[in-house]
Amino acid sequence: MSTTTAIEEVGGLLVGPERVPRNRASAAWRGRPGGSAPPPGTAGGGNIHDDTTAQALGFRGGTVAGSVHLDQFPPVLMAAFGREWFERGSISLVFRNATVDAEPVRAMVGKPNGATQVEARMERADGLLVAEGTAACGGDEPTRLDVLDRRPAGPDELRILAGVEEGRPLTARTFRVEGAEQKARLADSALTEPLDWYSGPSPWGPAIVPCSAIVQLIRNGRNDFGAHIQEAVGLFGAIELRFWSGPLRCDTDYSVSGEVVSVGASPKTEYAWYDSRATDTSGAVAVSMRMQLRWMKASSPLYAADR
C-alpha cells in the first residue's frame, strides 16, 4: 500500500492529515471544470446533500455524508492496529455536527496501549466536533454504538415511521463489485484517502472496497421503512462498520440481509436503528453494519400542522 498520509501523534491520539471531503451533490462539485454527475440518490432537490434543501432545514448547505467521512479513517486505523484492522476491526461513530463541501477535517484515533476499544473522532479545522466514537481490532468490549440508549418510541410518537417495528427485515439481495468498474469510478472520485488497495491487488487478492461504498452496498432498501420516508429528508445519525472475516473484496459474490433494531423520536427527528451484514458464498459474515437513520420532522408533510 502506498499513501501520502502522514500520521502525527498529538496528545495521545494518532492524527491524520487535514483533508477536504467533497459533497458530490453540491453546486461547487458539479460546477468544477470537468465536473461529473453526483452519485445516485443525491441529484436534485429533496435530500440533505442538496444545498437548497439543506439550507431550508437550517443547515449551512448540502452536507457531506457520514459514509464519506469514514474513508478518512483507514490510514489512521492501520497506524494504530496494522492492516489487521481490515480483517477484524471496527469503527463506531456518532455524527455530531454536519460539514459542507470541502470543509477541512482531520481523523483521529487513540493509541491502543492494551485497550481493545480506543477513542475515534473527527474534528473540523477550527476544532468543531464532527464525529465521535470508538475503534478496535478484535475483542468483545462494547463499541460506542453498543452503549447508546436505543429504547423504542411508543407507537403514538411516530408518524414518518408509523408501523415500523423491531425485527422488521430489510430487503435481501446479492451484489458483486467488479474491480475494473471500481477502478474506473475511483479515477473520477472524491475519495479522501484513495489507498492503492482500492484500485489494484491487495494482500487479500483482489482490490478491496472502501468504507463509503460498503455503507451504500449493505444499507437499507428504498422501501424498508414504509412510504412516508419518501416524503421526508433523511440523514445518517450514526454508523458502525465491523469486519469479521477480512475486507470486502471486489470480484466476489455476497448476500445482504438485515433487520430493524428499534425506532424512536427526538424533538427534531424520527429515527431507525438497524443491523445489516454481507455474507460470502461460504456463509461467513464478511462485514456488518449498525446504522442510525434520521428523518427531519420539519421536512415531512405529516408534521405540517405542527409548524
**Cα–Cα distance for residue pair 200/87, rounded to 1 Å:** 18
Reported confidence tier of residue 161, pLDDT bands at 50, 70, 90 = very high
Phi-psi region of 214 (alpha: psi -120 to 50; beta: other; left: phi over 0): alpha
Contact 122, 108 (CB under 8 A): yes
Q: Residue 3: pLDDT above 60?
A: no
| Those residues with Cβ within 8 angstroms of residue 151's Cβ, 6 or more apart along the chain or in another chain | 262, 264
Interval 269-291: pLDDT, tens = 999 999 999 999 999 999 999 99
- Kind of pairing between the strands at 253-265 and 8-10: unpaired
147 found inside a domain: no
User: How does residue 39 score in pLDDT terms, banded at 50, 70 and 90?
Assistant: very low
Q: Is the pLDDT of residue 44 over 80?
A: no
> Residues 106-131: what's their mean pLDDT?
94
For residue 181, being part of any structural domain is answered with yes
Which range among 129-133, 153-157, 293-297 shows the weakest confidence by mean pLDDT?
153-157
Q: How many CB atoms lie within 10 A of CB 247?
A: 26
What is the per-residue pLDDT for 31? Answer: 63
Task: State whether the Cα torsion 42-46-48-51 is positive or negative.
Answer: positive
| The pLDDT of residue 92 | 98
CATH code, domain carrying 105: 3.10.129.10
Tens-digit pLDDT profile for residues 223-252: 999 999 999 999 999 999 999 998 999 999
Please state, for a pLDDT cut of 90, what percent of the chain lies above it: 82
pLDDT value at 211 more than 90: yes
pLDDT of residue 38: 47
Q: Is residue 130 part of a domain?
A: yes
Q: Is residue 122 part of a domain?
A: yes
Binned at pLDDT 50, 70 and 90, residue 32 comes out as low
Is residue 46 situated within a structural domain? yes
pLDDT grade for 189, boundaries at 50, 70 and 90:
confident
Residue 42 has pLDDT above 60, yes or no: no
What is the predicted pLDDT for the residue at 46? Answer: 72
Conformational region of residue 129, where left means phi above 0, alpha means psi within -120 to 50, and beta covers everything else? beta
Tell me how far apart the alpha carbons of residues 181 and 189 are, in angstroms, rounded to a whole number: 12
The pLDDT assigned to 2 comes to 42
For the chain, give the mean pLDDT: 92
* Structural domain for 173, as ranges: 8-139+153-306
Confidence at 24, pLDDT banded by 50, 70, 90: confident
Q: Average of pLDDT values for 166-178?
A: 97
- Measured distance CA(223)–CA(61) in Å, rounded: 27
Residue 145, in any domain of the structure: no
How does 163-199 read in b/e, with b if 16+ C-beta sit within 10 Å?
Answer: ebeeebebeeeeeebebeebeebbeebbbbbebebbb
Q: Which of 17, 215, 2 is nearest to 123 (CA)?
A: 17
Residue the block writes with cell 415500523:
164
pLDDT tens-digit map of 7-18: 999 999 999 999
Give the tens place of pLDDT for each residue, 54-104: 999 999 999 999 999 999 999 999 999 999 999 999 999 999 999 999 999
Q: Are strands 8-10 and 285-296 parallel, antiparallel or unpaired?
A: unpaired
Is residue 1 a part of any domain in this protein?
Answer: no
Higher pLDDT, 39 or 53: 53
Dist. CA 273–CA 279, nearest whole Å: 20
Look at residue 33 in the predicted model and tell me its pLDDT.
54
Cell numbers for 66, please give them: 457520514
Q: Number of folded domains in the chain? A: 1
- Sign of the CA dihedral with 261 first, then 278, 96, and 11 last: positive
